[in-house]
Amino acid sequence: MVSHPASGVLLMDVLISPMILFFVLGALAALIRSDLAIPEGISKAVALYLMAAIGLKGGVQLSETGFTGDLVAAGFAGVALSLLLPLPVFWVARAIGRLDRLSAGAIAAHYGSVSVVTFVTGIEVLKAAGLPADGYMVAVMALMEAPAILVGLWLARSGMEKSSRGDQGKSAGHGMTEAFTNGSIVLLAGSFLIGLVVGREGFAQVSPLFEGGFRGMLCLFLLDMGLLATRQLLKSRNLTPVLVLSAVVMALINGTFGVLLGTALGLSPGSAAALGILAGSASYIAAPAAVRLALPQVNVGLPLTMSLAVTFPCNLIVGIPVYVAMARALG
């Protein structure tokens, strides 16, 4: 991927990267109704590989830098964003999208939480742009997953009758358990701790696997994401133009706020951009699973389509280069 350290990351730099082009290939294949498909078992294996690799590398980086004030500041900022971002998203879904409280709460949970794949892709873009994020941002990402889901569920249930809330207490508890024990978060956190313990010397034993093949595996995964996102969009029947526009605008506003907050806290440009990428992303793995358990009467298809088929591609093509350019200019 071509980068221009002097002028910032341009949109074309991202568009011509192999990672994004594989996503586009998947989208085009879905548009022409091709039977191209990544077998589910392989797709899951690639996803597990990516989670383990990014966690390990983040832990190794932190083992070399140690615990710093920036880590604490970034952690608090991440949790604060995760708790607060669902609130304006909920208002937009209710006031502009004209959705009921339950659906708006489900969308708030998705958009307050984070997308691991968007983060992983953003980290690679930052590295290629000469603005690597600090290793502790992997831990920040793990911290941001569950709080937003909790807030979204609370917003969805806050207007219900007490009897209804009582009837659904058990399912809500299961939903939060799902958020905290989601496989991607467990693997990320666990591999992060392993990297922290073994350090650079221990990581050298497995680096050919987890470093050498990382970008190639990411290309395959994004090919699958392109297929999945486009097919989800094509079969959607309840996604209105207002909701599509809201999904794009909310993500860009959230991401911009994340970059500004990270810069104000004195984080490095790479880490500030990573915080923006996290804030601007939307969950399509942990949040749908948690919402499905906690709010079984909600159609998870709408927030899932918004996050996966609209916000995810928007972040890959527009959001990430914008956040990186902002962080470079402000830093």
Distance CA 252, CA 258 (A): 10
- Residue written as tokens 């794949």? 117
| Torsion angles phi and psi, residue 280, rounded to 5 | -85, -10
Q: Has residue 50 been placed in a domain? A: yes
Is 195 part of any domain?
Answer: yes
The two structure tokens encoding residue 255: 């991401």
Phi, psi at 182, each rounded to 5° = -55, 135
Q: How many CA atoms lie within 13 A of 317 on its CB side?
A: 13
Token pair, residue 140, equals 């920040």
| Residue pLDDT, tens place only, 307-325 | 988 999 999 889 999 999 9
Given pLDDT bands bounded at 50, 70 and 90, which one contains residue 7?
very low
Q: What is the largest CA-CA distance in the chain?
A: 61
Dig out the tokens for 134 from the structure.
């600090």
- Structure-token pair, residue 276: 């923006």
In a domain, residue 132? The reply is: yes
- Give the HSE-up count for residue 185: Cα atoms under 13 Å, Cβ half-sphere: 21
Range of the domain at 124: 40-157+176-330
Radius of gyration, CA atoms only, the chain: 19
How is residue 146 written in tokens? Answer: 């569950």
Structural domain count of the chain: 1
* C-alpha distances in Å from residue 120, one per residue of 114, 124, 136, 176, 222: 11, 7, 13, 24, 11
Cα separation, 132 vs 293, in Å, equals 37
13 occurs within a structural domain: no
pLDDT at 31: 93
Quick one: tokens of 129? 């742009």
Q: 182 falls in which pLDDT band (50, 70, 90)?
A: low
Q: Is 61 contained in some domain?
A: yes
Using pLDDT thresholds of 50, 70 and 90, give the confidence band for residue 192.
confident
Residue 21 within any structural domain of the chain = no
Tens-place pLDDT, residues 84-130: 999 999 999 999 999 999 999 999 999 999 998 899 889 988 988 88
CATH number at residue 227: 1.20.1530.20
- Assess if residue 167 is contained within a domain: no
How long is the chain? 331
Residue type, 29: A
User: Does residue 2 form part of some domain?
Assistant: no
3-state SS assignment for residue 158: coil
